[in-house]
């Protein structure tokens, strides 16, 4: 019951990539890749929040050289997500950003959405998502990878380290982290520049109690701080520590519908072996 009712509470798909010039209710369904011939609960949602990293701040140029903006295509529509550079030919993002897509364009090295001197376009054979991802069952296993041509690192383009295996048992509760994205606000307007905010990691138990959606071990949640909350910052975008250098601990997967509460992420430490098996990247 938790899993079913969750669809009425969380605007999952709105954190899950957007495309322009379509009915917003249908966008919600298509963004989550639910086939038109399968009944779903998304169509019952008719009002939408102001989609943005709520009360965040504009990121300084070059402050997040690991983040990329993504445009993925299904043959008819263009969807928008975020991602993180984790190797010289790998991007880590959310599974829902890649399912039913035929190509992806990656923009590197700029805080301006969809604008960069360097970009790559790759086909669906390079879009890899977890084999157990099934949004009709739960929000688990929402993690994916994009194989890219070799990325030349600069002062504005660089990879981010993944949380170490040794940190896997640490639930990170209370850790102050940073989340960034180019999410919509005022319904259809996208901020030109990257928006970020600091958020605290809360326990899965607390997150599970506060919401109808079921929270599993492969997820982590962040809570609202001083009137600030992640609200449809692009799905697939990074949750990182405030250390220097930063460490990637989460991949944004779902956010509160009304921008007034918790946000959910794929817990990177849970997927380290999966990432290593595909990419060969070892911390």
3-state secondary structure of 56: coil
Q: In the annotation, is 142 catalytic?
A: yes
Inter-residue contact 171 to 203 (CB < 8 Å): yes
3-state secondary structure of 136: coil
Residues paired with 62 in a beta bridge: none
Q: Which of the following is catalytic: 110, 138, 235, 263?
A: 235
Beta strand spans in the chain (E): 57-58, 67-73, 78-87, 90-93, 103-108, 118-123, 127-129, 144-147, 161-162, 176-181, 195-202, 219-223, 238-241, 247-255, 263-267
Task: Please give the Cα distance from 251 to 180 (Å, whole number).
Answer: 11
Q: Which of the following is catalytic: 96, 120, 130, 211?
A: 96
Residues paired with 119 in a beta bridge: 107
What is the largest distance, in Å, between two alpha-carbon atoms of the chain? 49
Q: Which of the following is catalytic: 120, 142, 232, 262?
A: 142
Q: In the annotation, is 18 catalytic?
A: no
Q: In the annotation, is 116 catalytic?
A: no
Which amino acids are annotated catalytic? 96, 142, 235
């Amino acid at each position: 019951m938790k899993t079913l009712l969750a669809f009425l509470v969380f605007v999952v798909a709105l954190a899950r990539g957007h495309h322009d010039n379509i009915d917003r209710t249908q966008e919600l369904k298509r963004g989550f890749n639910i086939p038109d011939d399968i009944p779903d609960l998304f169509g019952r949602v008719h009002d939408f929040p102001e989609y943005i990293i709520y009360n965040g701040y504009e990121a300084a140029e070059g402050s997040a050289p690991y983040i990329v903006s993504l445009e993925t295509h299904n043959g008819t529509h263009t969807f928008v997500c975020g991602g993180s550079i984790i190797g010289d030919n790998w991007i880590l993002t959310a599974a829902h950003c890649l399912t039913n897509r035929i190509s992806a364009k990656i923009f590197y090295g700029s805080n301006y959405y969809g604008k960069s001197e360097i970009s790559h376009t790759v086909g669906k054979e390079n879009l890899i998502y977890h084999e157990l991802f099934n949004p009709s069952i739960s929000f688990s296993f929402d993690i994916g990878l994009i194989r890219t041509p070799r990325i030349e690192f600069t002062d504005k383009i660089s990879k981010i380290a993944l949380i170490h295996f040794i940190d896997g048992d640490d639930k990170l509760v209370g850790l102050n982290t940073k989340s960034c994205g180019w999410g919509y606000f005022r319904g259809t307007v996208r901020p030109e520049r990257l928006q970020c905010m600091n958020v605290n990691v809360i326990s899965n138990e607390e997150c599970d109690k506060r919401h109808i959606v079921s929270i599993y071990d492969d997820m982590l949640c962040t809570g609202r701080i001083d009137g600030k909350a992640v609200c449809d910052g692009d799905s697939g975008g990074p949750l990182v520590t405030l250390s220097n250098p930063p460490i990637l601990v989460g991949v944004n997967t779902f956010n509160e519908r009304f921008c007034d509460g918790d946000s959910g992420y794929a817990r990177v430490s849970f997927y380290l072996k999966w990432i290593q098996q595909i990419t060969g990247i070892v911390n």
